[in-house]
């Protein structure tokens, strides 16, 4: 009995070590707030730990964790809407600041500036998306998840995921000035 | 274009979803992903300050500051209450003094009026006693002569 518990604990520790950066990244890109993303990541793994025994491995641990993270994020936005007086987000990063992290690569200065501008525009468009569209978009284009994984993590059908993704891309395209 | 799809050598779902996809939008999305990854990595690995690492002196100062603040607030409040109480007492004693003074004045007036009445009665008595009937006039003359020989 104690041996089984120990094994489960070790297994969970390995899951945390493997998936924590990705969960944090998803929450950071969704909330744009480092402290909030850290708090929600902690909450996500706390919740996962409590329910670890009920995880039957029907989906991957990552998909299961992502589902918890999406729900936590939803709860957070719902609570924020209630707290209408909280306008400021002290640690929120300005839109353009996220683009400052773009690796320079082997681009010229001009190309770098253009790339940063484009990233800023994508970021702005993502902010304007609905909560569901944003989640689907980030899972697809930042986390590079397959449509089936996104469907399992969000609890939507693949068709709905495709529709949300299509609309989200259209809006990003519009923000970028309809480039073709 | 998503790299792992390319490596797998199959048509990506991304392309399937957006057949109009062009290289410029593709590049913008790739750059967006790279910037989010870099930002996240930097934020994830940033040094964190532990809450428990607050220096004891600072905690002590904070506690002392709070205690001093509480004492000042309590002192201010009690001084205010005491001052209010004092003022109320003064007002009460002033009212009592005024009432006493008024009572004395009334008493004095009453005594004065009584005195005046008594004087008037005495004067009337005296006047009445000095009026002598005509038949007794010779006796009065005699008494006056006796008094002033």
b (16+ CB within 10 A) / e for A64-98: bbbbbbbebbeebeeeeeeeeeeeeeeeebeeeeb
Residue B118 lies in a domain: no
Q: What is the mean pLDDT of chain B?
A: 80
Tell whether A156 lies on the interface with B, counting CB pairs under 8 A.
Answer: no
Q: Return d(Cα A83, Cα A168) in angstroms, integer.
A: 27
pLDDT 10s digits, A150-165 = 999 999 999 999 999 9
**A5: its two tokens:** 């518990």
Residue of A nearest to B30 (CA): A141
CA angle, B74 as apex, B70 and B78 as ends, to 5°? 175
Contacts of B35 in chain A (CB under 8 A): 98-103, 119
pLDDT in tens, A67-81: 999 999 988 877 765
Look at residue A85 in the predicted model and tell me its pLDDT.
46
Query: How many CB atoms sit inside 10 A of residue A168's CB?
Result: 24
Chain A partners of B24 at a C-beta cutoff of 8 Å? 176, 179-180
- Taking CA atoms, what residue in B is nearest to A174? B25
Q: How confident is the model at residue A60, as a pLDDT?
A: 87
Contact B13 A101 (CB under 8 A): no
Residue B18 lies in a domain: yes
Q: Could A147 and B32 be called an inter-chain contact, meaning their C-beta atoms sit closer than 8 Å? A: no
pLDDT score at A93:
54
Residue pLDDT, tens place only, A18-50 = 999 999 999 999 988 888 999 999 999 999 999
Residue A12 pLDDT greater than 90, yes or no: no
User: Is pLDDT above 90 for A139?
Assistant: yes
Residue B21 lies in a domain: yes
Q: Tell me the pLDDT tens digit for each residue of B35-47.
A: 999 999 988 888 7
Does residue B82 form part of some domain?
Answer: no
Mean per-residue pLDDT, A135-142: 95
A132-146 average pLDDT score? 94
- Residue B120 covered by a domain: no
Which domain does B30 fall in, by range?
A: 3-48
ipTM of the complex: 0.85
Q: What is the pLDDT of residues B7-23, one digit of tens each?
A: 454 455 555 555 445 78
pLDDT of residue A90: 46
Q: Which chain B residues touch A21 with a CB distance below 8 Å?
A: 40-41, 44
Q: What is the pLDDT of residues B76-106, one digit of tens each?
A: 889 989 999 999 999 999 999 999 999 999 9
Does residue B23 belong to any structural domain of this protein?
Answer: yes
Q: State what percent of residues in chain A have pLDDT above 70.
A: 85
Say if B10 falls within a structural domain: yes
Contact A115 B44 (CB under 8 A): no
| Percent of residues in chain B assigned helix, strand, coil, to nearest 5 | 85, 0, 15
Model's pTM, two decimal places?
Answer: 0.60
Interfacial A residues in 96-135 facing B (CB < 8 Å): 98-103, 115, 118-119, 121-123, 126
Share of chain A above pLDDT 90, in %: 47
pLDDT in tens, B133-143: 677 777 777 87
Judged by average pLDDT, the poorest of A13-27, A43-57, A79-93, B108-122 is A79-93
- The closest alpha carbon to A23, from A129, A143, A123, belongs to A143
* Tokens representing residue A121 in the block: 């525009």
* Residue found by looking up tokens 């399992």 in the block: A152
Q: CA-CA distance, A123 to A106, in Å (whole number)?
A: 23
> Which residues in chain A have Cβ-Cβ distances shorter than 8 Å to B33?
141-142, 144
In whole angstroms, give the CA distance from residue A165 to residue A158: 10
What is the C-alpha separation between A124 and A175, in angstroms, rounded?
8
Ordered domains of chain A (ranges, CATH): 1-84 (1.10.1740.10), 97-180 (1.10.10.10)
**Structural domain count of chain B:** 1
For chain A, how big is the Rg over CA atoms in Å? 18
């Amino acid at each position: 009995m104690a041996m089984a518990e120990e094994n489960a604990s070790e297994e969970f520790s390995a899951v945390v070590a493997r998936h924590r950066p990705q969960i944090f990244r998803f929450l950071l890109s969704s909330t744009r707030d480092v402290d909030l993303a850290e708090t929600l990541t902690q909450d996500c793994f706390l919740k996962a730990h409590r329910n670890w025994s009920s995880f039957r491995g029907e989906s991957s641990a990552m998909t299961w964790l992502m589902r918890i993270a999406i729900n936590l994020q939803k709860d957070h936005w719902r609570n924020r809407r209630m707290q209408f007086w909280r306008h400021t987000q002290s640690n929120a990063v300005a839109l353009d600041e996220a683009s400052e992290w773009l690796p320079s690569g082997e681009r010229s200065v001009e190309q770098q500036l253009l790339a940063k501008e484009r990233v800023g525009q994508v970021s702005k468009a993502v902010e304007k998306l609905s909560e569901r569209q944003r989640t689907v978009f980030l899972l697809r284009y930042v986390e590079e998840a397959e449509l089936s994984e996104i469907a399992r993590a969000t609890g939507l059908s693949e068709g709905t995921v495709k529709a949300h993704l299509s609309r989200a891309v259209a809006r990003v395209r519009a923000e970028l000035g309809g480039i073709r | 274009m998503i790299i792992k799809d390319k490596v797998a050598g199959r048509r990506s779902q991304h392309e399937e979803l957006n057949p109009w996809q062009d290289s410029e939008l593709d590049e913008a999305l790739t750059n967006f992903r790279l910037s989010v990854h870099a930002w996240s990595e930097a934020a994830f690995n940033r040094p964190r300050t532990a809450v428990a690492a607050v220096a004891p002196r600072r905690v002590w100062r904070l506690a002392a500051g709070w205690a001093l603040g509480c004492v000042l607030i309590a002192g201010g409040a009690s001084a205010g209450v005491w001052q209010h109480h004092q003022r109320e007492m003064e007002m009460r004693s002033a009212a009592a003094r005024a009432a006493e003074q008024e009572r004395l004045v009334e008493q004095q007036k009453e005594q004065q009026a009584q005195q005046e009445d008594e004087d008037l009665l005495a004067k009337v008595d005296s006047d009445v006693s000095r009026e002598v009937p005509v038949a007794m006039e010779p006796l009065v003359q005699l008494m006056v002569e006796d008094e002033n020989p």
